Structure 1
């Protein structure tokens, strides 16, 4: 499976050894009754920041939905289970993230202010390859826009899972890849509950 994933990513823009594209997206929510200010995102509305990882076929392989909108993508990544896995060397390949993520040997980001042909070529291939995450996020968010007026934060995790199941029905998400392994209460009471849907129970060579 991991070999096929790398080959599929390589076919996009000849970027080798890639096993996933990671990004965060802001999901609007109703203003919470507690700690309201921490949910205000950089765009000025109440939200949660959802992190997702997809493969080259735009299938979610990992999703984390537990942080309020004011939390930065890099913080969410650093505190995720998947980050700990790749740091332990359990993932055979690279992830691609935008400039909001920290550059690591296994998490590649664009070159800021490229000045050589090689750097420009790298950025072009990086952007084109990582772009696979945009469409599934867009489809998922379209479902949240429909439900925004009737869902509070404590319901948002069920809605995320339902949206992923709906995406699977139209062929965007493979439920053999994504599964919910943890639905736990947050340490901070105002966050109530989170979902981390991932492949943590798959062999180490998959994510």
Structure 2
């Protein structure tokens, strides 16, 4: 049987938010969003566009998942050189969640938080110190 990726409907939000609350005791969460680079074989056209900040070729794929790890949204349209903030602004999420810029129903908000890799953070700090 086929399964489809579907963003939760308004009537599903109490259940979705309840599931997230049960996980982390943070109220009004409707989804967890993140981007990930999916490696590609060296492209023959527009090679530089697909080279990401870690110097390998990729697609920058954005996903939203629910508390039960069910994927509710995927955007795989952008090459690796494109920043995640640009992908979010230009994705269909603002159309699926029309209240992205303001409070949603029952005070819900959509927010993206990018985790910081401690090794990457240390390397950036060292790079900044070496520039002085």
Q: Calculate the TM-score normalised by the size of structure 2.
A: 0.68
Q: Would the aligned equivalents of 1:24 and 1:52 in 2 still touch at CA under 8 Å?
A: yes
Query: Going by fraction, where is helix more abundant, 1 or 2?
Result: 1
Structure 2: 5+ residue stretches without partners: 1-11, 116-132
Q: Counterpart of 2:88?
A: 77
Q: Would the aligned equivalents of 1:20 and 1:94 in 2 still touch at CA under 8 Å?
A: no
Q: Counterpart of 2:109?
A: 94
Whether 1:50 and 2:61 are equivalent positions in the alignment is: yes
Q: Calculate the TM-score normalised by the size of structure 1.
A: 0.45
Whether 1:28 and 2:39 are equivalent positions in the alignment is: yes
Measured against aligned partners, the alpha-carbon deviations of 1:127-182 in whole angstroms (never above 9, x if no partner) come to: xxxxxxxxxxxxxxxxxxxxxxxxxxxxxxxxxxxxxxxxxxxxxxxxxxxxxxxx
Structure 1: 5+ residue stretches without partners: 101-207
Q: Relative contact order, CA 8 A, sep 6+: which one is greater?
A: 1
Whether 1:9 and 2:24 are equivalent positions in the alignment is: no
Output the aligned Cα RMSD. 1.8
Q: Counterpart of 1:59?
A: 70
Residue 96 of structure 1: how far off its partner (Å): 4.1
Query: Where in structure 1 do 4 or more consecutive aligned residues deviate above 6 Å?
Result: none
Matches within 5 A, 1:75-154: 75-86=86-97, 88-89=98-99, 92=105, 93-99=108-114
> Structure 1: how far apart are the matches of 2:43 and 2:32?
31
Q: Which structure is larger by alpha-carbon Rg, 1 or 2?
A: 2
